[in-house]
A = this chain, B = another copy of it.
Amino acid sequence: MAATMVKMPTSKVTIAYAPVRGLGAAIKMCCEFAGADYEVFEYQGVENKLEVDAWREGWWADKPAMYEKNSMINIPFVVDGETVVSQSNACLTYLGRKYKLLGSNDAELTKVEQCLCELMDLRNTVVGICYGPPDTYEQRAKDHFDNYVQVSFGKFEKWLTVNKTKFLGADVPTVADFHMFEMLDQHETWCKPLGKPQPLDKFPLLKELHTNIRTHPNLAKYFDGPQYKLTINAKRANFF
């Protein structure tokens, strides 16, 4: 049988997810940035099965027991002692509270929360294209870069302009910046096979944010390590 997360509590903060970057990346970056003693649990396929995204079988095998602990359970989720948190944005705010990465006051927190929601809208749009029907994928992906990306990235660029902060919530990174980085970084990679220009060339403040996260010393180990080298999406996606 595949490994299971059910035998909790673990001694460390544990992030459970598929072996892809996806929604797990920002959550892992929180722990890494904070210098936390954490571990990543990657679901794997049940033995003797070798197929695309076999890891899903590992997760599906574990899900019923995890559901008994937390009925909102889905991947990614975070286990911290007896606490099991699911829903990506709730994982980010949970870890943000724990590691003080939600801004230094309520005004910054309110900014972080808005950006987290906005980023999830962007992320859901990307997922709809990447995991949608293959026959219309390429056209929809190109349209996405020409239209949606311009509006969405434009909102975030404007946000930084109006708020006059280096990062989305403050002059220091918050949990929202890790998801922002991930979405920007995914688009910088994704544009290439589609023959689209790098979106960040048109958004200088976002480009700076991307660079500042990419070169932040707290995250050097993350970027050099195996987590950042995972595919962006699962292998059944139109782009991974």
Q: Contact residues of A with B, CB < 8 Å?
A: 67-72, 83, 85-90, 93-94, 97, 106-107, 109-110, 113-118, 124, 154-156, 158-159, 162
Contact = CB atoms under 8 A, between A and B. Distances in A.
Contact of A90 (B72, B110, B162): B110
Nearest to A112: B90
B106 A71 contact: no
Q: Is the interface of A mostly helix, strand, loop or mixed?
A: helix
Copies held by the complex? 2
Given A97-B106, A106-B97, A107-B83, A90 B113 contact: yes
B86 A110 contact: no
A90 to B, nearest CB: 4
Contact of A87 (B90, B114, B156): B114
A117 B89 contact: yes
Given A71-B155, A71-B158, A159-B71, A114 B86 contact: yes
A158 B67 contact: yes
Contacts of A90: 110, 113-114, 116-117
A116 B85 CA distance: 13
A49 to B, nearest CB: 25
B159 A118 contact: no
